[in-house]
Amino acid sequence: MRAILVGANLGKDSAFKKVLRELRLNPTDLRVAVDGGIEAWKSFGLEPHFAIGDWDSLKSRSLLKGLTYLTLPTRKDRSDLSYACHAAAYLGADELVCVGVTGGRADHHLASLLELSQADLPLRAPIRAIDAQAETIFLSENSSAWRRKGLRGQLVSVFALGGAARGVTLSGLEYSLRNAKLEPSSLGLSNVARGGEVRVSLKRGRLVIVLPR
């Protein structure tokens, strides 16, 4: 089951709706609202199946009426997003797509990247995060390889995160790698998809793949 986690950092309403159309929502998707993401779901004409947060980005708690939700304490060690990911997995999701949880305020953006890169959950596909600026994909040594067709000319940046990544293989890009080691640095910035299938895999460590929108 795919879970769509929607946060409050959505930029223009039209951009959010475009992202949801691109995701091709279906009745089997689990719709999760992360705090103020409740308003975003409602603006799209849909109710979330589940909402979670401390409600600091929710304009009115009256929007919780009729929803299944979990209120988190304001003072806590991890972000609302961290709890939302684990809740979605607990509810049976094996694929997570996060919309409107990255971008925006720099510290929140970095925290979300770190949370999603470290979320070791039993998933069948790498976690994806989409905001107004980029799509970001998170790979670990426990993930299957990431593949995508139809990206000719697309910028594709691949970075090690949280330490060295080993056994990194990139294909379908202008600059390819085979069984290489990547350190956290600017190495991997602004590669370009050649066409056909782009494939990224690794044996140890963690990678973040960024596709600017």
Asked if residue 148 has pLDDT above 70, the reply is yes
Residues 78-102 pLDDT 10s: 999 999 999 999 999 999 999 999 9
The pLDDT, as a whole number, for residue 141 is 87
Closest to 91 in 3D by CA, of 130, 144, 143, 50 = 50
- Strands in 146-149's sheet, in edge-to-edge order, are 146-149, 197-201, 165-171, 177-182
> What CATH topology corresponds to 1-132?
Rossmann fold (3.40.50)
Distance separating alpha carbons of residues 104 and 132, to the nearest angstrom: 9
- pTM, entire model: 0.91
Instruction: Using pLDDT thresholds of 50, 70 and 90, give the confidence band for residue 12.
Output: low
Return residue ranges of the chain for CATH 3.40.50.10240: 1-132, 133-213
CATH number of 133-213: 3.40.50.10240
pLDDT at 13 over 70: no
Q: Residue 151: which of 97, 180, 191 has the closest Cα?
A: 191
Q: For residue 35, what is the enclosing H or E element? A: none
